[in-house]
Structure 1
Amino acid sequence: MNIFINGNSLKAFTSGTPQRGLIKALCLLRSDDKFTVFVSMDAEALQLSDYWNSLRNINNVNIVSNLSSQRNINIKKLFGIKNYQSWPKGFDFYLSPGMPEYFNKKQQPSISTVADLSSINAPETSSLKWHGNRIFKNTLKWCMKSNSMIGAISNFTRDELIEKYPAQKELFFSLHNGIEDFWFDDKYETNELTNNYKTQNYWVWWGFGSNRKNLGRLLEAYSELKTENHPLPQLLLIGEIAANQLPVKDQINNSTCVELVPFQEALSLKELVRNSKGLLFPSLYEGFGLPIIETYSQGRPVLYGNCTSMPEVASEYGIPVDSLDVKSIKTGLLKMSQFEISKEYEELVKKYASQFTYQNAAQQLSKLIDQLSTQ
């Protein structure tokens, strides 16, 4: 079988990570098929050169540089031009992982997957600007009428799709994200930061601190408890705070118990998570919430927002809070401070996390490809 893959949907640096892992696992799983990845090799794509090279090293994968620039494609999408892209015909199957895509009648069967509908249902939490929001809305609308099936990275996102497009209910399915393979091995790396924190009592958070991550309320709750002399762990924030989150930066700078450090190499991050007392993750909106599973893979608990996909992904193993209520977050922090990480708990959450692999996601997608190809 000759399978087309929309490589432009793999270029998102962070949110594209599980889709890139899924596609690589799918190519390895279906070794008798031929995969052709079409991608606009712009600056965004070139940042992922290691990933494209890893695909090139798989015998059944060919990467084609798309002649249409991403900018020109987006302009056409923005102005409602449905035939915004001249995808080639003649493939046996068409895939667009992580991004809704329009495929015409000769480009079938087809599957697109969608991360979340935050730009539509919760625009205040979305990273998309007005033009990105319109592009997403247009493409999603066209996708509904042209794809054989449409995947969602969580049951929550699937249900959002059903609510918005009830007539297409039968098209939607859940395809849960996997996490990167290194979370499941026994390799760790130390550096000055990991050594400094190894003997300390601390909670951890990592990512890009946009509005949706709700760090302002988390830090407010944490600060109030410290002022009330509760013996809480230190708080280690790993990553970057969005430029428009100046109050959050001030909260960090004014605290002696909160430290912000840059993004860490993968195995050093894993070391920091393993040695922590757990993850604080009271987000306002998540399509999935990868850090929850990544933390569980290291046997550590999670405080999470009791909204969107997080209760589904965290299951019964974490501590839910009302993300909009500082008092609720304070109560959750006190529960986290008293949480006993037993050997039984570590084994339980590690086993739960072990199902969220790229290989499992690829096997599920592979079965759907076979089903649709024989209809």
Structure 2
Amino acid sequence: MKFPHSGLYQYCQNLGQHVNERLADMNQPLMKMYLPRRKKLTLPYEPYHLVEHKWHKFIQPFLFDCRVWHAPFQSGRILPDKSRFPHLRVVLTIHDLNVLHEGKPEPVQRKSLAHTQSLIDRSDAIVCISEFTKNDLLAHCSIGNKPVYVIHNGVNKLAETAEDVVAYQPTREFLLGIGYVNQKKNFHVLLPLLQSNPDLELIIIGHHDNPDYVNQMRRQAQQLGVEKRLHLPGTVSEPDKAWYLRHCKALLHPSLAEGFGLPVIEAMQFGKPVFLSTLTSLPEIGGEAAFYFPSFEASVIQDVYSAGMNAYESAERKDAIRKNAARFDWKTSACQYISVYQSLG
């Protein structure tokens, strides 16, 4: 939860909030959230928050009455010692095995998989956030007889604010990308669209995760003569993100590897056309309502975009986009997680 604008942060915050809302409706004890020190958080204080302290390495009194521990990420560093707390049951959520799809060296892949396997070995139930992730998991890890569930992430309805954006204010129609700006997100393949659409800007919001990649994109834009219409404002506030989503012409997400793909659904909430790669979980999340790049050659990117925007003009397509977004709801996801917790007794 180091970066408040990351998908994992939003996952933890929203899951905790909606699970506790459902538990309160059921008159059940609330789920307590074990959080890093406050200097790393923007979450307000809550009575059910437990803040990590150094002495927890030696003693964890809050675990004596804990029945289920939910580890929310497959690369996490905190998992209770079940030899000390044999009554405890552990749920592990696996978001992705993207290390297998990013072109990483084999030693890096092996190390990552070994860590995930070590968490699986110490867990009692596994949740995957997509069918694609589940299939990856079954192919590359040893599950034994542990139950594996698929629970899609939900999405919050973003405010349709009328206020102007605080970050970069575009002066013309624009295409939008959202995500960490790094090689995996593959945003550079979109730059030829600015050549074939001289009236458009391309705005990519998100943490500059790889400065070398950011500089590479800027150099490529300069070579193509479109550098004045490429904008990389970095991370922005949630109201600004909602403003960009509400006003963009389309969302483009040509990512090489995703466990889910939250920006896809956020854009679809606003009825926006989305253009995706065909890789990993994206076809599962975008469904038939999205448009897909079968490859990343400039001509393919331009042809798919042009055909997609023409198809988008139909009322049926716009309705299908909003219906697809409605499939993903945090209330439903929270109830499914509670069922998993209860299944472990």
State the TM-score, normalizing by the size of structure 1: 0.76
Counterparts of 2:16 and 2:168, CA distance in 1: 32
Root mean square deviation, CA, Å: 3.2
Distance 1:269 1:367, change over 3 A: same
How far off its partner does 1:272 sit?
A: 2.0
Alignment correspondent of 1:66 = 53
Change (3 A) 1:113 1:350: same
Contact 1:238 1:263 in 2 (8 A): yes
- Is 1:191 the counterpart of 2:159? The answer is no
Report the counterpart of residue 330 of structure 1 in structure 2: 302
Q: How far has the Cα of 1:268 moved from its partner?
A: 2.5
Deviation of the 1:68 alpha carbon: 5.5
Aligned partners of 1:125, 1:207: CA distance in 2, in Å? 20
In the alignment, the residues of structure 2 paired with residue 125 and residue 329 of structure 1 have an alpha-carbon distance, to the nearest angstrom, of: 25
Query: Aligned in 2, Cα 1:243/1:323: closer, same or farther, shift over 3 Å?
Result: farther
Q: 1:20 aligns with which of 10, 13, 19?
A: 13
Q: Which residue of 2 aligns with 1:93?
A: 68
Once residues 365 and 222 of structure 1 are traced to their aligned partners in structure 2, the CA distance between those partners, rounded to angstroms, is 41
C-alpha separation between the residues in 2 aligned to 1:98 and 1:51? Answer: 19
Alignment of 1:51 onto 2:31? no
Q: Could you tell me which residue of structure 1 aligns to residue 200 of structure 2?
A: 233
Amino acid aligned to 2:200: P
| Alignment match, 2:103 | 124
Q: Return 186-195 or 160-169, whichever deviates more.
A: 186-195
Q: Of the candidates 354, 364, 367, which is equivalent to residue 336 of structure 2? A: 364
Residues 305-356 of structure 1: CA deviation (Å, up to 9, x unaligned): 0010000000001111134444432322222443434444333322321232
The separation in 2 between residues aligned to 1:345 and 1:279, in whole angstroms, is 15
In the alignment, what sits opposite 1:80?
Answer: none
Residues in 2 aligned to 1:266 and 1:123: alpha-carbon distance in whole angstroms = 28
Sequence identity of aligned pairs in percent? 19
For 2:175, the equivalent position in structure 1 comes to 203
Q: Distance in 2 between matches of 1:338 and 1:68?
A: 60
1:36 and 1:64 in contact (8 A); partners too: no
Equivalent residues of 2:273, 2:309 under 8 A apart: no
1:290: how far off? 0.8
Partner of residue 38, structure 1: 34
Q: 1:349 to 1:269 in 2, by over 3 A?
A: same
8 Å CA contact retained: 1:102, 1:139: no
Tell me, in whole angstroms, the C-alpha distance in 2 between the residues paired with 1:158 and 1:87.
32
Q: CA deviation at 1:231?
A: 5.9
Alignment match, 1:5: none
Aligned counterpart for 1:248 among listed residues 212, 217, 227: 217
Are positions 1:109 and 2:89 aligned together?
Answer: yes
Give the Cα separation in 2 of the matches to 1:34 and 1:108: 17
String of CA shifts for 1:101-126, please: whole Å, max 9, x gaps: 6452515322010111122x135369
Gaps of 5+ in 1: 1-9, 74-82
- C-alpha distance in 2 between matches for 1:149 and 1:174: 11
Alpha-carbon deviation of 1:192?
A: 6.3
Q: 1: distance between equivalents of 2:117 and 2:327?
A: 32
- Tell me, yes or no, if structure 1 residue 222 matches structure 2 residue 193: yes
Structure 1 pair 230/169, CA: closer, same or farther in 2 (3 Å)? farther
Q: Distance in 2 between matches of 1:239 and 1:124?
A: 22
1-structure distance, mates of 2:182, 2:249 = 24
Letter of the aligned partner of 1:122 in structure 2?
Answer: H
Taking the aligned partners of 1:236 and 1:341, their CA distance within structure 2 comes to: 22
Query: For the structure 1 residues 194 and 350, does the alpha-carbon distance in structure 2 shift closer, same or farther, using more than 3 Å as the test?
Result: farther
d(CA) in 2 for partners of 1:300, 1:34: 37
Q: CA deviation at 1:174?
A: 1.1
Q: 1:358: Cα distance to partner? A: 2.2
Counterpart secondary structure, 2:212: coil
Whole-angstrom distance in 1 between the partners of 2:181 and 2:169 = 25
Q: Match for 1:243: what amino acid?
A: P
Aligned to 2:259: 287
Q: More displaced, 187-196 or 357-366?
A: 187-196
The secondary structure found in structure 2 opposite 1:284 is: coil
* Distance of aligned partners of 1:318 and 1:356 in 2 relative to their CA distance in 1, 3 Å threshold: same
For residues 3 and 145 of structure 2, the distance between their equivalents in structure 1, rounded to whole angstroms, comes to: 27
- Structure 2 residue identity aligned to 1:249: R
Structure 1 residues 122-168: Cα deviation after superposition (integer angstroms, max 9, x where no partner): 35369xx95x983x434322222221111111111111101112553
SS of 1:315's partner is: helix
Q: Which stretch has the larger CA shift, 266-275 or 93-102?
A: 93-102
Aligned residues: 329
Which ranges of structure 2 fall in alignment gaps of 5 or more residues? none
Structure 2 Cα separation of the partners of residues 154 and 122 of structure 1 = 16
